[in-house]
Amino acid sequence: MSRALADGSIESATSEPIRIDHEVGIVGAGFAGLIAGLELLESGRSSLVVFERAAEVGGVWRDNVYPGCACDIRSHLYSIAARPNPDWTSSYASQSEILAYLKGVARDGGLHAHIRFNSEVIEACYLEMAACWRVELRDGAVLHVRALIVAAGPLNRPFTPAFKGLELFEGTTGHSSAWDPTLDLAGKRVAVIGGGASAVQIVPNIAGVVGHLSVFQRSAPWVMPRGDRPSSAFERWLFRRVPAAQALARAAIFWGLEAVGSAFFGNAAMNGLLKWVGLRKLRREVRDPATRKALTPDYAIGCKRLTVSDDFYPAFNRPNVTLTTDPIVEIAPTGVRTRDGTLHAVDHIVFATGFVVADPDAFLRVVGAGGRVLTEQWAVEGAQAFRGMTVAGYPNLAMLLGPNSGLSYTSAVHVVESQVRYLLQYLDALGAAGEGAALDVRVKAQDAYNADVQSRLAGTVWASGCSSWYISRSGRNTTLFPGPASRYRRLMSRFDPGAYEVRRSAG
């Protein structure tokens, strides 16, 4: 038995040294955790454990089962490059299809033998005496791993506003990420609070079922044409027979989105084109002038997350759907009251209010060297890491989709693949350092990198003044990378040994 002390040392009940259970531990079995695990096995690293809090893999694609849940990136790009799926049934895969894909790649890649299901990590503590991480699980189990990879993802901490009177509401409520599949909304009065990506999918998929739908919108989303269509039998046959054809299709999607993304990095012509497309779509699809005006965004396109849909706008032409932009002041026992005094009677409230991403609230408790706590440090300094992956003072720790590594317009899977390439080189360097060694990013390297990131972000559309989940409460963009995905891949293609220092265990 051993216990980590606040200063990172060990209080031990015996004189026996700590036994390393696995060389690498991964927190989370969503897209990021699975990609990391599969690539580690491919590289010959079989001393591996994946901690998954649920009973199956999938991450957000397991948890989000709301009506209409689907990906807003085309299927061939939103999949693992080394494990393509030639049988996607449409341009944009649904939640159930993506979940089936993830289950398949985990099973076929031999990863199941390394996953501990129903194993929620409640704390990870770095032990300086042994140069390893002590991982404590919800059920009381404790394991030690030499290197720890946090792959919990950014969209796993649901945000529900603290509305006055919510606890007195007599109806039912639920966040979009915790949808009850047994919920029957037929004929009911339903409120959807929020206007982001999940609302854009939920609204048209329940509008034809409910008695009345009230949509409460704080700011209008920019909505682009989705252009979804079923995959033809010929396409699926071709991609099965000629994998290079699917790789070409993936590349075409990627570079098309890189062109779109240039609108957010200073390409005024592309920005103007996207704005024209979005407003033209709005004019064509919403009949009522007042509703159309309320659905017109008042901020630069791209400042908030861009959405894609072919059926969101037309839902507001239905007689049983109303849009409210007046701010909510309270939740009354029988409905939602807005600032103008109107009580909107509802039976069920859907909180399509997104997630906590930019701030460290409810993030995994990670205790680094010297007893420093990552969430407490980030609460003061703002979330930051070197290249979005490693944090000074937390040796042998890497994050996937960590601070300032997100991209708002393209596939997060592509970003993770870039990071895992870097991760393998990081682990090679750790192995070369020898037994009992630790690899820690230098403070100067991290500070210089993040100063450059924030400087570059100042010239992007995300600094144009709108409020979004990319920005922390202190006003710092801790979420997005200030450049295209192709630049981030080049950045992550080569490990920088000069940015790190080797530490030896004190034991």
DSSP letters for 10-22: EEESSSPPPPPSE
Residue where one domain finishes, among candidates 351, 386, 404: 351
Torsion angles phi and psi, residue 68, rounded to 5: 85, 5
Packing angle, helices 31-42 and 412-432, rounded to 10: 40
Q: Collapsing DSSP states into helix, strand and coil, what is residue 134?
A: strand
- The reply to whether 479 and 375 lie within a common domain is yes
Burial (CB count within 10 angstroms: exposed 0-12, middle 13-18, buried 19+), residue 414: buried
**Chunked mean pLDDT (size 10), the chain, 507 residues:** 43 62 98 98 97 97 97 97 97 98 98 97 96 97 98 91 96 97 97 96 98 97 96 97 97 98 96 98 98 97 96 98 97 97 98 92 94 96 96 98 96 98 98 94 98 95 92 94 97 96 82
Cα–Cα nearest to 439, from 480, 471, 474, 397:
397
Q: What is the pTM of this model?
A: 0.94
Do 221 and 367 fall into the same domain?
Answer: no
123 SS3 class: strand
Q: Whole-angstrom Cα distance, residue 60 to residue 54?
A: 11
Indicate whether 363 and 437 sit together in one domain.
yes
DSSP string, 382-398: -S--BTTTB-TT-TTEE
Do 201 and 145 belong to one domain? no
CATH of the domain at 125: 3.50.50.60
- Tell me: do 274 and 407 sit in the same domain: no
Select from 118, 117, 135, 115 the least CA-distant residue to 126.
135
Final residue of a domain: which of 351, 380, 408? 351
Whether 272 and 135 map to the same domain: the answer is no
Is the CA virtual torsion 165, 168, 170, 173 positive or negative? positive
pLDDT of res. 12: 41
Q: Do 13 and 68 fall into the same domain?
A: yes
Whether residues 324 and 419 fall in one domain: no
pLDDT for 312 equals: 98
- What single letter denotes the amino acid at residue 184? D
b/e 135-154 (16+ beta carbons within 10 angstroms → b): bbbeeeeebbbbbbbbbbbb
Alpha helices in 403-500 (DSSP H): 412-432, 443-457, 485-492
Pick the last residue of a domain from 351, 366, 390. 351
Q: Are residues 178 and 305 in the same domain?
A: yes
Asked whether residue 89 falls in the same domain as residue 185, the answer is no
139 & 198 share domain: no
Domain residue limits at 200: 166-351
Q: What is the pLDDT of residue 3?
A: 46
**How many domains does the chain fold into?**
2
Instruction: Put residue 477 in one of left, alpha, beta given phi > 0 → left and psi -120 to 50 → alpha.
Output: beta
Specify whether 369 is located in the same domain as 244: no
498: its two tokens: 């000069």
Helix (H) or strand (E) holding 60: helix 60-63
